[in-house]
Amino acid sequence: MTAVDIISEYPLLAEVLLSQLRPTEIGVISQHPLDRYLDTYFLNTAEHFTSVIDTKIANDLLASAASPYLGTSDERNSLEAFEAAHSVMLAVMATPHNIDIAASHIEIYTERLFEAFPRSLSPRQFRLAFTQLVRITSPPSLISAQRPLLPFILLEIMRFRVESASLQPLASLAKNGEDDIQPMSEQAALVLTLIHSLPCLHPEALENWLPVTARLCHLVQDPALRHVCHHRFWDVMSNGEMDLDRAALCVNWWNTERGREMVLYGEEKARSGDLINEPVEEASKP
């Protein structure tokens, strides 16, 4: 990392390094396993230089090299390359001077991201990628000024996916215990991803999506996984992930807008007032 930091001070040298490490063929998935490992090394290295290299290099080299690895794959040995490609693409689009790249790639990338999960991305990697995508498209990012509806489109896509997602446990794609320890269904993983992205939303959008997220939590049929979603919901609102304005909004929703009741007991009981008088600590603790 020290070498990366030093090279980052010299953008031209960084571009030379990346040109030397570039895949033999840009725009295709390498067939030989050794070449795929080299592609993974290139993608992992390139991610550290997205903020210093020229926009043209970022588009023609980095985005083009990552593109074929953004889809799906049945080869478990290729999963690291697919995860590295998503990280590079997100890093490129998140760089302020690459706003034109983000504008031209973000819709296609969103489609590829949802196609890749859960076959080619673990729940943890998908959660990180979607959260970064919401952050990129939400104010005060530059692209949000051009396309203010993008965050809402992303959230609506997520909502529809949750409603139609599989309830079966996902096969683990993680190595060395890097992913969630508890077996996770696709539906629960999507709900947790939505919860994880809430701190990135503009306060107005957050206010609208707190009750929607509470409703989606109750679509998770497995009691243990639903409890995990409830606990994570409470955690994201109370552990400092929100800034002051968003935290104040969450406190108001939780205490005065019947947010607590919606999360713990469901929207129907919250509206009817037929609730169990149970302390929040007992209802939401892991």
**What whole-number percentage of the chain has pLDDT above 90?**
74
What CA–CA distance (Å, rounded) separates 210 from 281?
Answer: 20
Residue 179 has pLDDT above 70, yes or no: no
Across-strand partners of 185? 169
pLDDT level of residue 286 (50, 70, 90 thresholds): very low
Question: What pLDDT does 72 receive?
Answer: 78
Question: What pLDDT does 171 receive?
Answer: 80
Within 8 A by CB and 6+ apart from 178, the residues are 122, 124
Instruction: State the angle between helix axes of 123-137 and 99-116 in degrees (0 to 180), rounded to the nearest 10.
Output: 150
pLDDT higher at 126 or 27: 126
Tens of pLDDT, residue by residue over 31-59, are 888 999 999 999 999 999 999 999 999 99
Tens of pLDDT, residue by residue over 108-165, are 999 999 999 988 888 999 999 999 999 999 999 989 988 999 999 999 999 999 999 9
Rounded mean pLDDT of the chain?
A: 89
Task: Give the total residue count for the chain.
Answer: 286
Q: Which alpha helices (DSSP H) does the chain contain, by range?
A: 2-8, 11-21, 33-46, 55-57, 64-66, 79-94, 99-116, 123-137, 142-146, 150-164, 186-197, 203-217, 223-238, 244-256, 259-265, 267-272, 280-284
Amino acid found at 42: F
Question: What pLDDT does 180 receive?
Answer: 55
Which tokens sit at 105? Answer: 């790639």
Residue 79 has pLDDT above 90, yes or no: no
Tens of pLDDT, residue by residue over 201-246, are 999 999 999 999 999 999 999 999 999 999 999 999 999 999 999 9
Q: Which of 236, 231, 238, 240 is closest to 263 using CA atoms?
A: 231
pLDDT level of residue 281 (50, 70, 90 thresholds): very low
What CA–CA distance (Å, rounded) separates 114 from 121?
Answer: 10
